[in-house]
Amino acid sequence: MSGYDLFDDPYCYKGTFVLKNRASIRDAAILEAFELEMTALRAEVPLPAGLFTPAHYRRVHYHLFQDVYRWAGRYRTVRTAKAGNWFCYPEHIASNMNRLFKKIALPTLKPGASAADFLDAAADFLAELNAIHPFREGNGRSQLAFMYLLGRRAGHPLNLQRIDRETFMPAIIASFAGDIGLLRRELQKLL
């Protein structure tokens, strides 16, 4: 949570980097533990079905974070960056999400696509989704949950239990700079 670069963030309690939350937790470490616990519990409940649209993606975020944040499932309204890399400005999130989600209609992300074609398309989609970063918090977990649904629909289910944070995080960071090869290899490990 504190890894983001922000100024005067209305999502945080005044004078802190702690996100306003339903439990009124003011300690970042306690909030992080609470968030992990609540999203883990929600992850045990089936993810929402949908038509693989931006609205469906927002429902996935809401599903995971509804117990933690009042704004769960809503696009962020502030500009944000991580390690000096700016994500999509909020005024462009909706149009970029609509553009990106048109790719889901491609044959490479549908049933019948080869695993290789699916992995290429999935890595590209995930890299773009991460660069948009539509939510104030919870993007990574929402991305992976949605990729799980997308892989299952395409006949290439991803086993998220196999994720290795030590290699996955550098791959997602490299994808932000345009190198999706590492991300593709990480997704391949999950097949």
Q: Give residue-wise pLDDT tens across range 52-61.
A: 999 999 999 9
Distance in angstroms (rounded) separating the CA atoms of residues 76 and 108: 30
Domain ranges of the chain: 4-190
Beta bridge pairs of residue 4: 82
Query: Please, which pLDDT band fits residue 5 given cuts at 50, 70 and 90?
Result: low
Beta bridge pairs of residue 5: 81
What pLDDT does 83 receive?
A: 81
Which CATH architecture is the domain 4-190 placed in?
Orthogonal Bundle (1.10)
Give mean pLDDT, residues 2-15. 75
Give pLDDT tens digits for 57-93. Answer: 999 999 999 999 999 999 999 999 988 889 999 999 9
Give pLDDT tens digits for 157-180. Answer: 999 999 999 999 999 999 999 999
Contacts for 77 with CB less than 8 Å, ≥ 6 apart: 10, 90
Whether the Cβ atoms of residue 54 and residue 98 lie closer than 8 Å to each other: yes
Burial 103-127 (b: 16+ CB within 10 A, else e): ebeeebbbeebeeebbbbbbbbbbb
**What tokens were used for 177?**
């700079």
pTM: 0.94
